[in-house]
Amino acid sequence: MRVYRLKPLLLSQFEKDGFVCCRRFTSVASISEGIERVIRDVVPGMPSEHVFYEDRAQPDSLKQIQLLQQHDAFFEALAKAGPFRELAETLLRDSVVCKNIQYFNKPPQTGQATPPHQDGYYFKLAPPHALTMWLALDEVDIENGCVRYLPGSHKQGMRSHAATGTLGFSQGIVDFPTDEDRKNEIALIASPGDLLVHHALTVHRADANLSSTRSRRAIGFIFYAAQAKIDSIAWERYQSDLKSDLMRDGKI
């Protein structure tokens, strides 16, 4: 398979830049079908804290589904074995645990920006050895809100975060963008099947979807290295605060 020959190159890019982009990593037909099936058959029975809408009264404004691997056998199989997991093991130089498979959409015009953040701030891991994969299901470009990275930011530690008010991305970097951030940020345009992978400390964000017709759908995979340990007290506190905030604001 293509990825095997490229693995040493991908690993050195990942360790240097904190992200890699694997063009045409996979065909998206079965994954798109899987997501359509979950939206149709599973979402109606899911707990509200696993399904986020821009506006709960508008089913078309669905923006995120959490923990697909717990809700659907197809996604459970993707979490347990196959090319995503194998690539995660290579890039983290460890065996891995798949913690979350997520669906992301930015619906046309209503899809909000993803605030600048480091995933490790949400994960509460020591050491912060984890990565996120982001598989494009649509053509994704500047207009509909492509992912933007700060190369090398994974080597510069955790930045200060604070509440954003954004459903699904509750924490954002407080001093973004600095002049350096503005100079260094790169935007990753992607086609269906392209896979972006970033380290848990890599700073990233995405703009809102300004297109009037095009959605911006993607699947996210979160893998933790086996050596990374969760600070379970900090994590439980964060989850409980988050749930109360979302319920108070009527978002879930």
Ligand X SMILES: O=C(O)CCC(=O)C(=O)O
The CB-of-107 to ligand X minimum distance in angstroms stands at 12
Exactly one of 63, 129, 159, 204 binds ligand X (CB under 6 A); that residue is 204
Q: In whole angstroms, how close is the CB of 100 to ligand X at the nearest point?
A: 9
Binding-site residue total for ligand X (CB under 6 A)?
10
Closest CA to 158 of 103, 203, 212: 203
Dihedrals phi, psi of 62, to nearest 5 degrees = -50, 125
* Of positions 104, 121, 149, 224, contacts ligand X by CB under 6 A: 104
88-112-188-130 Cα dihedral, nearest 10 degrees: -20
DSSP 8-state code for residue 203: -
Q: Is residue 119 part of the contact set for ligand X (CB under 6 A)? A: yes
- Residue 21 binds ligand X, judged by CB under 6 A: no
* 130 lies in the site for ligand X, by CB under 6 A: no
Minimum CB–partner distance for residue 225 and ligand X (Å): 17
**Closest approach of Cβ 5 to ligand X, in Å?**
27
Q: Is 183 helix (H, G, I), strand (E, B) or coil?
A: helix
Nearer to ligand X by Cβ, of 51 and 218: the residue is 218
Element (H, E) at 46: none
- For residue 8, the cross-strand partners are none
Is there binding between residue 103 and ligand X (CB under 6 A)? no
Q: Which of 66, 69, 132, 153 binds ligand X (CB under 6 A)?
A: 132
State the DSSP string of 66-88.
Answer: --HHHH-HHHHHHHHSSHHHHHH
| Closest residue by Cα to residue 115 from 36, 168, 65 | 168
Q: 188 and 147 in contact (C-beta within 8 Å)?
A: yes
Q: Which is nearer to ligand X, 44 or 63 (CB)?
A: 63
Cα separation, 227 vs 85, whole angstroms: 16
**Is residue 147 helix, strand or coil?**
strand
**Of residues 71 and 216, the one with the C-beta less far from ligand X:** 216
C-alpha closest to that of 186 among 202, 210, 165? 202
If binding is defined by CB under 6 A, does position 200 make contact with ligand X? no
Encoded one letter per residue, x for contact with ligand X by CB under 6 A and - for no contact, window 140-169 reads: -------x----------------------
Is 206 a binding residue for ligand X by CB under 6 A? The answer is yes
Task: Look at the block and give the residue holding tokens 């809102």.
Answer: 208
User: From CA 171, how far away is CA 162, in angstroms rounded?
Assistant: 5
CB of 134 to ligand X, least distance (A): 6
Nearer to ligand X, 75 or 134 (CB): 134
Give residues in contact with ligand X (CB under 6 A).
104, 114, 119, 132, 134, 147, 204, 206, 218, 220
